[in-house]
């Protein structure tokens, strides 16, 4: 991917694919592309057309936000929301640990 604004999409597609326990071959077949092309998208050496990106997102059963978090301006808000959801799903003891760590990181960043 030559356009820097697209960096991160391939990595996110790969993560979503792995989370879905799919191989490149399985996803490529569902989308109707070659696994070589999917591999190039994941390595970020090729940029998918919008139509292909939509097919990938639908085949993975994820939201576009999951794939575009790193490239859209509101991505940070969406990422914060996803992190909040993940923290909420932890047991209370683990939630407190994570929140203490985040507090320390924020305090350091504000110095």
Q: Which range has the worst mean pLDDT, 49-58, 69-78, 84-93?
A: 69-78
CA–CA gap between residue 69 and residue 22 (Å, rounded): 21
Which residue reads 């057309």 in tokens?
A: 49
Q: How does pLDDT run across 34-64, given as a tens digit for each residue?
A: 999 999 999 999 999 999 999 999 999 998 8
> DSSP letter at 111?
-
Report pTM: 0.66
Backbone angles phi, psi at 5, to 5 degrees: -65, -15
CA–CA gap between residue 58 and residue 38 (Å, rounded): 15
Which residue reads 């640990």 in tokens?
A: 97
């Amino acid at each position: 991917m030559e356009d820097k604004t697209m960096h991160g999409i391939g990595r996110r597609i790969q993560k979503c694919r792995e989370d879905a326990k799919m191989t490149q071959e399985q996803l490529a077949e569902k989308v109707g592309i070659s696994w070589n092309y999917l591999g190039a998208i994941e390595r970020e050496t090729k940029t998918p057309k919008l139509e292909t990106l939509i097919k990938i997102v639908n085949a993975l059963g994820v939201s576009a936000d999951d794939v575009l978090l790193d490239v859209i301006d509101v991505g940070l808000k969406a990422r914060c929301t996803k992190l909040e959801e993940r923290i909420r799903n932890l047991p209370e003891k683990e939630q407190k640990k994570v929140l203490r760590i985040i507090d320390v990181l924020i305090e350091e960043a504000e110095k």
